Structure 1
């Protein structure tokens, strides 16, 4: 009988599907291939031995894979716990920062309130001073205006007196002018009668 054909690629894929890493699957495949090359024909006992060895190797590899998975799970759990602890620590730090910021903001508000109160107080005092000064200036202006108004009224009174005196003088002059007119008229009439009456009477 000729040599039994051995499919290396199929054997490697079978081992990988069983859970072996690719490197280990290739190594096992290489050993099996060499064993086929050494022996012209494998007996049933030899095949059973190979199967037992392969089964043992596969079982060991599976155990190693399980251990690796276990280590990976433990590593992930550890990392997860560490990350959770970091998150909790970060949350605590954020809470502390917020607390500090809240306290600082409260202090700033308090300081601003005090400064605003001082500014209002100063402005109120300044406004009161300005009102006081304006009141004094207004009082002075009123006083000056009152004095000026009194002077104007006095001047008006004097003008009224002068007007009254002028009117009286005008009335007297008018009376004198009327009398003068009468005297002139009487003189003219006397002259006319002096020349005309003798002629009328035939004299």
Structure 2
């Protein structure tokens, strides 16, 4: 992959100029790049679909690969490696969303999946045969107010649906960025509660 090759080049350049990073740290960076490539391949595989999201269980492999890469990069402790690590992981914003989606949001996701025949925006979100007729960024933004309402109404399991909407909005911006969209803060009103959504602006 070109991106992984770029990681190798940048990492070697970082180390070569560094007075703080050892040869051992360089080798660690190379090993982390390999883990990152496996993560990139997995993300590309699950993104080859017309729907936005699948059932939570289908993302567990990706979540595991995200954690493997993140754990590897924590071993790069030299001073000049900090910014490099942050920049690399910033290229995989979907990791945080999928972690949330497969853990604290999984029960809600399963509930929403059961309602796709009743709520149009959920059909758009989950249906494998849904035709993406518009720019993906715009369509994602268009369905968000309805998704927020659905979470609030359908996922109040322990009286925590408001918290779920908030956490969803915080991590959904990462999913939005993973589609190469550009978030921009905007506020909407939904069910009389005002939330700051991910950047609700379509990609130009």
Flag the structure with higher strand content. Answer: 2
Give 1 or 2: higher helix fraction.
1
**Does TM, scored on the shorter chain, surpass 0.5?**
no
TM-score, length-normalised on structure 1? 0.23
What is the TM-score with the length of structure 2 in the denominator?
0.23
